[in-house]
Amino acid sequence: MRTILIATSNQGKLRDFAAAALTHGVEISGLPRFSSLPTVVEDGLTFEANARKKAEEYSLYVPGEIVMADDSGLEIDALNGAPGVHSARFAAPDLHSKDPHQAVANTDDQANNARVLRELKGVPAAQRIGRFVCVLAVARDGKTLATFRGTAEGIILDAPRGTNGFGYDPLFYFPQIRKTFAELSSEEKSHYSHRGKAFREFLDWCKDGVRD
């Protein structure tokens, strides 16, 4: 069984990847000693830039190994694409600074969701369109080998629903199956989510062996 090293400490992401990998004979593992490694500052202006930076820098700690990193988040049309690359730190005070992409302190899910609801107060349901975006990057020895992108289109509710998932999942209503992402089982989420779609693209890429 192939083991994929994931550069993240986010247990929710690890669960999502593990669920997507389950039926493909792939095992997901966190990068060894990840918590002791220097933090990579996610100051890129795009999901791809952040994913590539993390994959490249963390792959240097495991020479010869393939390391995967992701950057993902929520884009809301009525907020001009926000929170976007700032999704994990949307409630951070330093996002109001002159250079908001320099904010590095993540804020908790409840605070981030609360800010989204404040920003969308009074916006009618028909205009609360949004999408989850995930970009995966795989790297070896500091060089990106490939990137993969997945999206999921939905509607942002005016109150949370469901207790599964993490992040903005309780606010993200997926019309296709009439549930929020926080109401999905692990299997359903791996099938419908942005992260599951990007991961399946990665599996297609590597099914015949890792490419140089």
Exposure string of 139-164, with b = 16+ CB inside 10 Å and e = fewer, is bbeeebbebbbbebebbbbeebebeb
Which are the contacts of 114, defined by CB distance < 8 A and separation ≥ 6? 91
The answer to whether residue 108 is catalytic is no
Alpha carbons 188 and 186: distance in angstroms, whole number: 6
- Which residues is 2 bridged to in the sheet? 26
Q: Which of 16, 70, 71, 109 is catalytic?
A: 71
Contact 15, 41 (CB under 8 A): no
Task: Give the catalytic positions in this structure.
Answer: 71
